[in-house]
A and B are shown apart, each in its own frame.
Chain A
Amino acid sequence: MVAEMLVNIVHIIIPILIVIASAFAVVFKDLIAAAIAVAAMSLLLSLEFYILHAPDVAIAEAGIGACLTTAILVIAIRATRREEEA
């Protein structure tokens, strides 16, 4: 019973954290910070996938979403400009 409630609480908390991280990704003016927020969201998403019994997708999301996406974003930001306002 307690375990079930704990699982339910985790199922509520992690989506909320994901939404908060994604909101930060949009709000941050510094694009590198936004990219980091996207990475954090990806990592939380990967955790959520793991909790939802999808380990295959969790590995893929951790590898592609959290690592390579961030790398590509950071590369692109360093090649352009870091602040949002031109």
Chain B
Amino acid sequence: MNLETIITHSPALIVAVPLLGAFLTPLVGKINDKLRNVFVILTVGLTTFFVFLLANDIFSSGNIRTYVFGGGTPITDGGFAIRILFEVDGLNAFMAIIASILALACVIYSWAFMKENTGLDKYYTLILLMVAGMFGMILTGDMFNFFVFLEITSISSCVLIAFWTNKGKAVDAGFKYIVISATGALFILFAIAILYSQYNALNMAFLANSIQYTFLDKIALVLLIAGLAMKAGIVPMHMWLPDAYGRAPSSVTLILVGATQVSLYGVLRMTFTLYGSQLTIPLKQIGDTSITMNGLLGITLIALALITILVGVLMALKQTDFKRLIAFAAVGEIGYIVLAIGAGLTAMGTSYGNMAFRGGIFHIINDALDVGLLFLVAGAIYYATKQTSLNQMGGLSRNMKYTTVFFLIGLLAVAGMPPMNGFASKLLIYQSTYQVNPIIAIVAILCSILLLAVFVKVFHSAFLGPKLPKFKDVKDVPKSMLLAMGIIACFIIFFGLFPEFVVNNLVKPAADAIINNTNYITTVIGGAVP
């Protein structure tokens, strides 16, 4: 059992270990509560170890790894894939790193945060299932497998959103989330069936190789983009997001942030890998300008992204509920990612187009970490004071010193202030969008300033000001919660201080995987790509 064997099998183990852990957790929970917590943390830790091992291999060698379930070659003699395939390239490994960091922080945070609740066996089971579902969505190279793991993620997260069933609003948010995700997933399944009907295949690389962009393919593309964009929370399909984020327990919200990003990854994978070879083909000639699909899709995405940023930031400014406010800010942050992707699409092939992709990809991890940290701080405040409304808070920095420091780090990062990580990625996005159209960049910068204003409001009303008499005995939160926040804060500071290192080693392979899908296809198909 040497290291190479482990790396070879790690794509399967990354999904299978949390699944096995989830099946074992109810049995372990019968023995002892502490043992169960340790078991869950060990399971997630082992998964994280596999993820980092695999990612290190992918990033250092630049290869694409495949894993065929049931053995054999990816492609049979006839030239088609019959078995389920995991295919890990730079983008997959990048997303897996995000998911593993968030999952580890979540289980550590949950130790103290959820201590008072009943039903913790099932809680941890569902957390592990959600983590497994996320990893499955990230790593899979098969369309139907993607759908199955999408459903696992949405079902487990809907229960976790409604975990505090004594609150009517939490149950309501869970119901909305399950309706939204069931509808979206069914249309995604419909799209998969349409693709299957035409090419008799479910493997992504095979489909990408043979796709023709017929009328049915257009329908499938629209269904895929719309369904996944709804799960990613793009305005105007974002309404479930503040409900779900705001009313779920904070530890769950952290993973929900990850699940949202994974849906966004799905949009990227479907658009750029599946339809990648069709993106730059001219569709119609009007006068001198030829309309290409990337231009159309890019402009659409930029329009959606600008609305997303504006709505997210403006609504965040108005909110008085702590977590709801952060949720709207998260909507705005997602808008920045989509903006970068759209700008990259319109300028596909140019150097600033590539820069836009790098900025967008870099912003995915920054957004996940920043927003996640803020949600953890919100949870810590809820744990200490049992308050969520900002109107009731004040002067908390006098009692909760560490939490205040973490909030400041998250505030600076999410608003894109130097030297935090948010600035580095937003700089890339501003510069590239400025070359597409200066007005877009100006709007983006203004919204970023508004975001800073939003969080200054939170900082002022929650942490500054005189000590309120009802919070006289408030203590700082337990160590496990501080540790979880510390892990994420360390990553934020690291990414902020060494942006070029991160861009070169993590982001660039992922962005290259987006821009050029030939590698992805040839790994499976072999030399058969025309």
Consider the complex of A and B and state whether they touch directly, i.e. have CB atoms less than 8 Å apart.
no
Could you tell me which A residues sit within 8 Å of B by CB distance?
A: none
Could you tell me which B residues sit within 8 Å of A by CB distance?
A: none
